[in-house]
Amino acid sequence: MESAAFRLLAVLLLGGFFCASAASVRKTVSSTIPIYSRPPFTEDPTGSGEDLEPDCCGCEEWIDNNLALKDEIDQVFSALPSCPCIYLGGLPFHHWSLMYDQKHGRNFKWREISDPSDLVYHPGASNCIEHIPDSADLPSQHCCYDIYLITRGSGAGSPRLYNSRLNLQMHRELDKQPWLTCEGDWRKYQLVRPPNNGRNCPERPSTSEYEMQIREAENSWFNRGESIE
């Protein structure tokens, strides 16, 4: 997708992040991007020391607004490379390596991001990698592994609207803040950001482990009395 079209989608998502309907946001898009809503957490679980304040709305509004823009988001993510089925060790942290993607018929840049500040969002994963887009205005693929690609559940990676290296501020606002606002509930986050399995890798974790993760999420303190349909 062209950068200009992607920037328009970002405005739509930021403008309708929580409190406005997607339809109303489409009618009021301007060149000024509103200040994003902050999550209900009082501190970032990565220990970064970011000042997080309570939000006026919440996770369900984010889900509803993003699902209303599903066609646009799917178009954005369709341009991304697919996650490799097996973790490829040796990728650089501070640079990138090229990997060929059969679906798109070309090479894409990838780098290693297996550090605590990323893995804390993917419990159960031992390593994660991300693709480096050609522009800071473009989305990025994100994949996590336990040697093999984690295709579902708490440890799985998800595509990102912005790359954490090229555009950290927008990544925090449109990728990280929703996870915090949904209080780490991967089931809710993945309704909007399903993990990539474009190479039809074997499902991982196993069905029994996946079902256990669902039960644990249902029994978490922030989900008591709630259900996901």
Q: Say if 228 falls within a structural domain.
A: no
| pLDDT confidence tier of residue 32, bands split at 50, 70 and 90 | very low
Q: Say if 131 falls within a structural domain.
A: yes
Residue 22 has pLDDT above 70, yes or no: no
Tell me, what's the pLDDT at 90? 81
Map tokens 């990539």 to a residue: 196
Q: Average pLDDT, whole number, for the chain? A: 79
pLDDT tens per residue across span 151-207:
999 999 999 999 988 999 999 999 999 999 999 999 999 999 999 999 999 999 999
Q: Say if 229 falls within a structural domain.
A: no
Comparison of pLDDT for 92 and 137, the residue scoring more: 137
| pLDDT confidence tier of residue 78, bands split at 50, 70 and 90 | very high
In which domain, by residue range, is 54 found?
Answer: 3-223
Q: Say if 161 falls within a structural domain.
A: yes
Tell me, what's the pLDDT at 220? 72
Mean pLDDT of 96-107: 94
Is 0.85 surpassed by the pTM of this model? no
Neighbour-count burial of 46, counting CB atoms closer than 10 A to its CB (0-12 exposed, 13-18 middle, 19+ buried): middle
Task: State the total domains in the chain.
Answer: 1
- The SS3 assignment for 149 reads strand
Q: Say if 11 falls within a structural domain.
A: yes
Number of helices followed by number of strands (H, E) in the chain: 9, 4
